[in-house]
Amino acid sequence: MPHRLLRFGWSRKHPEPRMFTRHDTLRPSYDVVIIGAGGHGLACAYYLARDHGIRNVAVLEKGYIGGGNTGRNTTIIRSNYLTPEGVKFYDESVRLWQDLGEDFDLNLFYSTRGHYTLAHTDAAMRTMRWRAEVNKHFGVRSEAVDAAFVKRGIPAIDMSCGGHAPILGALFHEPGAIARHDAVAWGYGRGADRRGVEIHQQTEVCGIRLEAGRVVGVETSRGPIATPRVLCAVAGFTPRILDMVGLRTPIYVHPLQAMVSEPVKPWLDPIIVSGSLHVYVSQTARGELVMGASLDPYELHQTRSTLDFVEGLSSHMLDMFPFLSEVKVNRQWAGLADMTPDFAPIMGVTPVEGFYLDSGWGTWGFKATPVCGKTMSHTVATGRNHPLIEGFTMDRFERYRLTGEKGAASVGH
Amino acid sequence: MKILVCPLNGPRPILEFAYGGEVRRSPDPDTCSDAEWSAYVFNRSGSPGLKYEWWCHIASGYWFVALRDTARDVVVATYTADRVRLGLPAPAAAQGGAP
């Protein structure tokens, strides 16, 4: 094996096909320019090429493919939301996830685990019943369950949570799943690439050219491009892109941190969320515990890590699972979350003609990757909002018609 | 940022403080249009930059204003709350002048 590897390394011919084509130059014009080669941007490019026949598309990425929040989330997929708009939207996403690996011919390590949102108070229990009813109404498998059910599903848990936050019950969501997040970006990227979409990494957008209120082109670090349509799918960098077209939105950016433990024997099958303890945790196929908590407490455009975060999250993990006290934390990291006041995204057409937005994905964007690609490709191709994103449009704020999804955020941010 | 210098209590660990958002001026609700009011209620300046922000030292319940670079997480200057009424300097000027 080392011999073969060496020979492969030294040989001039590399028979292994590359995942993505490298393009040395930008074309002078494209039908669509997508800013951001994360899951959402690449998914949109993929469906534009596959379903709408629009292949003259450039995906511009300042860093590298999937290097933003696509590679920084805790990979949880669920549809147990609170509003009808949210439930329908995320349910469609869960449906799309099911055969995505086959679509891509790539193993996404999609693993259906079941998802418990623990309730430690009567008020939380009431929200769980509410969510379960809304979910069931739309055919999503969620149930409000009692403490005994939780204990059967998670035998290792301390039901009293250290004595100060006893678990009364939970919202159990059977389709809850985890997946390998990098592979999602790679799968969509490769699928788009094979259909003629150009992915340009290390290409920063420096400006957007407007004429008479409509998009005519994009200025990049590698020269200008003419295009009538631009999709912004850049997560925590959204406000900077919006400044280029002169739009103001409610988006504010806080870092969101996460961490991962050393690998341990499999003991945790389902995904556990506790809003009161500010924890969400799952165990990967490799045995690591992937853990996340609430947003950092103030605005910041930096992906630095803090010790406060590890201390806070670890102490809450130990409330639920005291036997983990000897387990080590391997890594921690942060991403920039573009938050909205109602915890729902901001998507679709904007007052600037030809400028489309897939933003406000705060702390809940990974699970929506497939459905965002589907709906945004429809919106970009037709110039009209897809019916599934009507509740997420930018003008909902001036109409005071918010889509209040905070009750379904995994932890009380 | 691990330590914030409070105008009343001096340097204190950041955990003792709560962030209160950007200092913003409300339009007159009696005379402004619906669009102006919703823009004030919801819209934020999301891009990184020098911003005046409300901060509270929780232990003493003391509110004050900090001028902070939200890209680098560095506090340029702090002010007592009455400066909001009397007028804060333009962020660029404050960066050059105040400690």
Q: Please count the residue pairs, one from chain A and one from chain B, whose beta carbons lie less than 8 angstroms apart.
A: 55
Residue where one domain finishes, among candidates A286, A312, A339: A339
Range(s) of the domain holding residue A387 = 28-72+182-251+342-408
State how far residue A300 is from chain B, nearest Cα, in angstroms.
5
A167: domain CATH number is 3.30.9.10
Domain contains A257: yes
Residue-level pLDDT at A254: 97
- Mean pLDDT over each residue of chain B, to the nearest integer: 92
pLDDT confidence of residue A13:
74
Tens digits of residue pLDDT in A336-384: 999 999 999 999 999 999 999 999 999 999 999 999 999 999 999 999 9
Number of domains present in the structure of chain A:
2
Q: Are residues B46 and A253, on separate chains, in Cβ contact within 8 Å?
A: yes
> CB under 8 Å to A66, separation ≥6 — which residues?
A37, A38, A39, A42, A181, A182, A184, A185, A186, A189
Q: Is the CA virtual torsion A359, A362, A366, A367 positive or negative? A: negative
- What pLDDT is stored for residue B98 in this prediction? 46
Q: What angle do CA A219, A224, A230 make, to 5 degrees?
A: 60
pLDDT band at B92 (very low <50, low <70, confident <90, very high): confident
Residue B76 CA to residue B94 CA, distance in Å, equals 8
Q: Are residues A171 and A260 in the same domain?
A: yes
A223-226 and A252-261: which strand pairing? unpaired
In this structure, are A68 and A187 located in the same domain?
yes
A370 shares a domain with A281 = no
Which residue matches tokens 């990049």?
A: A220
Q: What's the pTM?
A: 0.94
As given in the structure block, the two tokens for residue A408 are 């379904």
At B95 the pLDDT is 66
Closest CA of chain B from A280, distance in Å: 22
Predicted local confidence at residue A367, as pLDDT:
97
Query: Percent of chain B at pLDDT above 70?
Result: 95
A227 part of a folded domain: yes
Per-residue pLDDT at A15: 66
Q: Are residues A163 and A260 in the same domain?
A: yes
A246 and A352 belong to one structural domain = yes
What CATH topology corresponds to B3-97?
Answer: Folate-binding fold (3.30.2270)
Comparing CB atoms, the residue among B39, B47, B51 nearest residue A240 is B47
pLDDT of res. B85:
87
What's A241's domain CATH number? 3.50.50.60
| pLDDT of amino acid A78 | 97
In a domain? residue A13 = no
Q: Which residues of chain A have pLDDT under 50?
A: none
Residue A123 lies in a domain: yes
| ipTM of this complex prediction, to 2 decimal places | 0.93
Do A265 and A391 reside in the same domain of the chain? Answer: no
Report yes or no on A101 lying in a domain: no
**Within a domain: residue A204?**
yes
Give residue A407's pLDDT: 79
A102 inside domain: no
Q: What is the pLDDT of residue A38?
A: 97
Tell me whether residues A302 and B72 touch, CB distance under 8 A. yes
Contact A251 B70 (CB under 8 A): no
Whether A4 is in a domain gets the answer no
Q: Take residue A40 and report the two structure tokens written for it.
A: 């959402």
A250: chain B residues, CB-CB within 8 Å = 42-44
Same structural domain, A327 and A348: no
- What is the distance between the alpha carbons of residues A25 and A36, in angstroms, rounded to a whole number? 18
